Structure 1
Amino acid sequence: MIRVRLFAGLRERAGWGEQQVPTPAGSPPPTPAHLWRQLALGETIPPQVRVAVNQSFAAADQQLQPGDEVAFLPPISGG
């Protein structure tokens, strides 16, 4: 399983904040970009959305392993 987390506006738009995604044996390792499409969040990750794997920023094409946590972080504004 891979834990996928959405934050802020992404969570509100999708209607969920966290999901567990199974990693079928024998299939190639998924990437954050693959999960984005699989979870019907869009065709591609928008350039302003940051990806984190296991709480470290990562590339959208990084191969994931069972037990990983992927977070999609929208731009944050504040003041």
Structure 2
Amino acid sequence: MRIVYFAWVRQRVGTAEEEVSPPPEVRDVGGLVRWLSALDERHAAAFANPRLVRAAVNQDFAGPDHPVRPGDEVAFFPPVTGG
């Protein structure tokens, strides 16, 4: 699974992207966030308040219940506002 980070999420994690192999019990975006948060303090800092992080799975916006599978690309980014 390819994980891509943008903006301040990238800064906190310390990398723009990484390949991960979550355990089989990680089945959705919410589970992936919890699993990533437990990896180390950088990931924990990035996901300290999951409501401040948005996700996209294979370039489509996704909520915490959206399924994830091996081979997916999951992006994490802060909410975006426009004007």
Common fold by TM > 0.5: yes
State TM-score, norm by structure 1. Answer: 0.74
Q: Does residue 37 of structure 1 match 2:34?
A: yes
What is the aligned partner in structure 2 of residue 60 from structure 1? Answer: 64
- 1:1-79 correspondence to structure 2 within 5 Å: 2-24=1-23, 27-40=24-37, 41-42=43-44, 46-76=50-80
Distance 1:28 1:38 in 2: 10
Structure 1 residues 45, 51: CA separation in 2 closer, same or farther (over 3 Å shift)?
A: farther
- Aligned partner letter, 1:11: R
For the residue of structure 2 that corresponds to 1:47, the secondary structure is helix
- Aligned partner letter, 2:74: V
For the residue of structure 2 that corresponds to 1:57, the secondary structure is strand
Seq. identity, %: 43
Give structure 1 stretches of 5+ with no counterpart.
none
Give structure 2 stretches of 5+ with no counterpart.
38-42
Runs of 4+ deviating beyond 6 Å: none
Compare 28-37 and 10-19 and name the one that shifted more.
Answer: 28-37
Paired residues of 1:33 and 1:44 also in contact (CA < 8 A)? no
**Whose helix proportion is higher, 1 or 2?**
2
How many residues were matched structurally?
A: 76
Distance 1:54 1:61 in 2: 15
